């Protein structure tokens, strides 16, 4: 019964995330469409309108390029963090295995007997 509740909570969380993503995408698209319509219906000459559209296009391209650069930066930082965590985990596992072997050897020594032979294939 607890597992069902956890599954519902997990699905609800992913559903909320999907809803947030859709909302933000809609907000962005709405902003762009609104800016374009505002420029097109503004009381100015055709030449001024074309210049305003060009300026907005350049502004959006600059913003998009900055967004892409920041995204790449965050992606690279994420890769570094994951790589570092993997290395730390690997080191911890090796240290744990070494400590376990030392403890095993210590216990065997305290009983004053040798380790039983291991069989091939185990």
pLDDT digits (tens, 9 = 90+) for 22-51: 888 888 888 888 887 877 777 777 788 788
Q: Which of 57, 30, 52, 54 is nearest to 41 (CA)?
A: 52
For the chain, give the percent of residues with pLDDT over 70. 80
Asked if 10 and 70 sit in the same domain, the reply is no
Asked if 93 and 37 sit in the same domain, the reply is no
In total, how many domains does the chain have? 2
Asked if 33 and 51 sit in the same domain, the reply is no
Q: Which domain holds residue 15?
A: 1-41
Q: What is the CA radius of gyration of the chain?
A: 31
- Domain membership flag for residue 120: no
- Domain membership flag for residue 122: no
pLDDT at 91 over 60: yes
pLDDT at 113 over 70: no
Asked if 85 and 106 sit in the same domain, the reply is yes
Asked if 59 and 36 sit in the same domain, the reply is no
- Across 8-22, 53-67, 91-105, the highest mean pLDDT is recorded for 91-105
Asked if 15 and 66 sit in the same domain, the reply is no
pTM score, two decimals? 0.38
């Amino acid at each position: 019964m607890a597992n069902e509740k956890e599954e519902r909570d997990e699905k609800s969380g992913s559903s909320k995330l999907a809803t947030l993503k859709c909302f933000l995408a809609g907000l962005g698209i709405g902003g762009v469409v609104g800016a374009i319509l505002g420029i097109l219906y503004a009381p100015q000459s055709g030449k001024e309108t074309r210049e305003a559209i060009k300026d907005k296009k350049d502004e959006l391209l600059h913003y998009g390029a900055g967004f892409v650069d920041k995204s790449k930066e965050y992606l690279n930082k994420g890769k570094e963090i994951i790589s570092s965590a993997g290395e730390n985990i690997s080191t911890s596992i090796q240290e744990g295995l070494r400590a376990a072997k030392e403890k095993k050897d210590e216990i065997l020594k305290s009983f004053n007997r040798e380790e039983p032979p291991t069989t091939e294939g185990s």
